[in-house]
Amino acid sequence: MQDPKIANAGGNRGTLKRRTLLQAAAAGAVGISPALRAVVHAAGSDAPEKKEVKIGFIPLTDCASVVMASVLGIDQKYGVKIIPSKEASWPSVRDKLVNGELDFAHVLYGLVYGVHLGIGGPKKDMAVLMNLNHNGQAITLSKQLADKGAVDAASLAKLMAKEKREYTFAQTFPTGTHAMWIYYWLASAGINPFTDAKVITVPPPQMVANMRVGNMDGYCVGEPWNHRAILDGIGITAATTQDIWKDHPEKVLGTTGDFVKQYPNTARAVTAAIIEAGRWIDASAANRQKMAETVADKSYVNTGVDAIQDRIQGRYQNGLGKTWDDPNHMKFYNDGAVNYPYLSDGMWFLTQHKRWGLLKDHPDYLAVAKQINQTELYKQAAAAAKAPVPKSDLRTSKLIDGVVWDGKDPKKYADSFKVKV
Report pLDDT digits (tens) over 35-57.
454 444 434 578 999 999 999 99
The CA R_g of the chain, rounded to the nearest whole Å, is: 21
Residue 408 has, within 13 A of its CA and on its CB side, a CA count of 7
Is 134 a residue whose pLDDT tops 50? yes
- CA geometry: angle 100, 374, 29, nearest 5 deg: 90
Mean pLDDT for the stretch of residues 365-387: 98
Is 326 a residue whose pLDDT tops 70? yes
| DSSP single-letter state for residue 194 | T
Strand partners, 41: 44
Can you give the pLDDT at residue 26?
54
Q: Which residues contact 62 (CB under 8 A, 6 or more apart)?
A: 106, 132, 133, 136, 222, 223, 250, 251, 330, 332
CA dihedral of residues 365, 58, 26, 5 (deg, nearest 10): -160
| DSSP single-letter state for residue 416 | -
Q: What whole-number percentage of the chain has pLDDT above 70?
A: 90
Is 18 a residue whose pLDDT tops 90? no
Query: Cβ distance 272 to 36 under 8 Å?
Result: yes
Can you give the pLDDT at residue 7?
35
Report pLDDT digits (tens) over 267-319.
999 999 999 999 999 999 999 999 999 999 999 999 999 999 999 999 999 99
> What is the average pLDDT value for the chain, to the nearest integer?
92
Query: Cβ distance 164 to 246 under 8 Å?
Result: no
Can you give the pLDDT at residue 44?
54
**Full-model pTM:** 0.91
**3-state secondary structure (DSSP) of residue 126:** strand
Query: 190 pLDDT band (50/70/90 cuts)?
Result: very high
**3-state secondary structure (DSSP) of residue 237:** strand
Can you give the pLDDT at residue 208?
97
Query: Cβ distance 284 to 313 under 8 Å?
Result: no
Distance of CA 71 to the CA centre of its chain: 19
Can you give the pLDDT at residue 17?
52
Report pLDDT digits (tens) over 358-375.
999 999 999 999 999 999
Is 34 a residue whose pLDDT tops 60? no
Is 11 a residue whose pLDDT tops 80? no
Is 220 a residue whose pLDDT tops 80? yes
Can you give the pLDDT at residue 121?
83
